[in-house]
Amino acid sequence: MQPTVLILGARGRFGLAAARAFADAGWRVLGLVRPGAQLPPEAATDQRIEWLVVDLQDSAAVVRAAHGACVVVHALNPLYTRKAWKTQAQPMAEAAIGITRALGATLMFIGNVYNFGADMPALLAEDTPQRARTAMGQVRIAVEAQIRRSGVRAIVIRAGDFFGSGTGTWFDQAMVKDIQKGKFVDPGRAGVAKAWAYLPDLARTFVEVALRRDALPPFEVFHFAGYSITGQHWLDAIDPVALAQRWVEPGAALQYSRLPWPFIRIGALFSPTFAASLDLRYLWTTPHALDNRKLVALLGAEPHRPLVQATAMALHDLGFTRNAVGAQVVGG
């Protein structure tokens, strides 16, 4: 029997990647979007995703529309501001919990590293103490606790910053914004490795874990390692694409610059988004990686493309290249 998954926030970056991954794996995919939201361009041609235009707060209507779903993916996210996270994140989680309970399904939630404060160790395991001092980190801790207390079957998969499959993160908004001009911007400190997740690999991981959900405890947390990389690693991964696309001449290097954090600090006085970014600057100055041994024990291997290939695909998804250089899937 074909299993059914309900994706809450299917129009968002992770939600859409998850919808594609579950559809690729043969699931029936129900993608919930809010009334008035614009559907992605592929909605007109890709019939694998059934789009449900229903208000999240009308839980009865959502449950009726999603009858038979055995997995609910919570891919909803507030706007990237302290206020939005404080006021919206927990109500969103409560709605997801209620829908999951009514369906008798398993809830899957995408966690992040905000939970860990600036004193975090270099390797983050599932049982690493969570001592976030930022507003967004504390909200994340509260949401995961809320899910745990709810009693619904639930799985949290934690990952680093996203790249690939769309726009809206540091990678596309700052680091490679001017890459076609041969310019790369590094928000990090020299030599400091930061956790990153290539979104299609992360989405595929959700599918693989969902298939094994019945063998798991009622509440479980996994860490997705992805990549722990420095600015130099990014340069090394982008170089082959830059040369192939003639963003730099043979023998020349990409122009490298640091993100002007003093400008972000000034902007934070006027922009809630800049203020939220400044709160999390420690993620760029504190080396960290996610320990995925528990996930590997479950799956055998973490879905993972080599960084050069993932980067080429991510740049292609942004429309920066004519073809996906080195885009073949390797491993996992």
What residue segments make up the domains of the chain, in order of their start?
Answer: 4-167+194-226+285-304
pLDDT higher than 50, residue 134: yes
- Phi, psi (rounded to 5 degrees) for 113: -90, 5
Measuring CA to CA, which residue among 90, 88, 71, 143 is closest to residue 114?
Answer: 143
pLDDT at 328: 41
Residue 305 binned pLDDT confidence (cut-offs 50, 70, 90): very high
Residue 214 binned pLDDT confidence (cut-offs 50, 70, 90): very high
pLDDT higher than 80, residue 42: no
pLDDT at 38: 83
Average pLDDT over residues 169-197: 96
Supply the angle between the helices 135-150 and 272-279 in degrees, to the nearest 10: 80
Q: What is the mean pLDDT of the chain?
A: 93
Residue 332 CA to chain centroid, in angstroms? 19
Q: DSSP states of 120-162 as a string? A: --SEE-TTS-----SHHHHHHHHHHHHHHHH-SEEEEEE--EE
Write the burial class of residue 323 (CB in 10 Å: 0-12 exposed, 13-18 middle, 19+ buried).
Answer: exposed
Average pLDDT over residues 168-172: 93
pLDDT at 331: 36
pLDDT at 323: 67
pLDDT at 324: 56
pLDDT at 41: 78
Percentage of the chain modeled with pLDDT above 70? 97
CATH 3.40.50.720, domain 4-167+194-226+285-304, yes or no: yes
Question: How does pLDDT run across 236-292, given as a tens digit for each residue?
Answer: 999 999 999 999 988 889 999 999 999 999 998 899 999 989 999 999 999 999 999
Average pLDDT over residues 1-22: 94
- Helix ranges (H only) for the chain are 13-24, 59-65, 82-103, 135-150, 170, 199-211, 231-244, 261-267, 272-279, 282-285, 293-299, 307-317
Question: How does pLDDT run across 73-119, given as a tens digit for each residue?
Answer: 999 988 888 898 899 999 999 999 999 999 999 999 999 999 999 99
Residue 327 binned pLDDT confidence (cut-offs 50, 70, 90): very low
pLDDT higher than 90, residue 329: no
Percentage of the chain modeled with pLDDT above 90? 84
pTM, entire model: 0.94
pLDDT higher than 90, residue 320: yes
Q: How many CB atoms lie within 10 A of CB 297?
A: 9
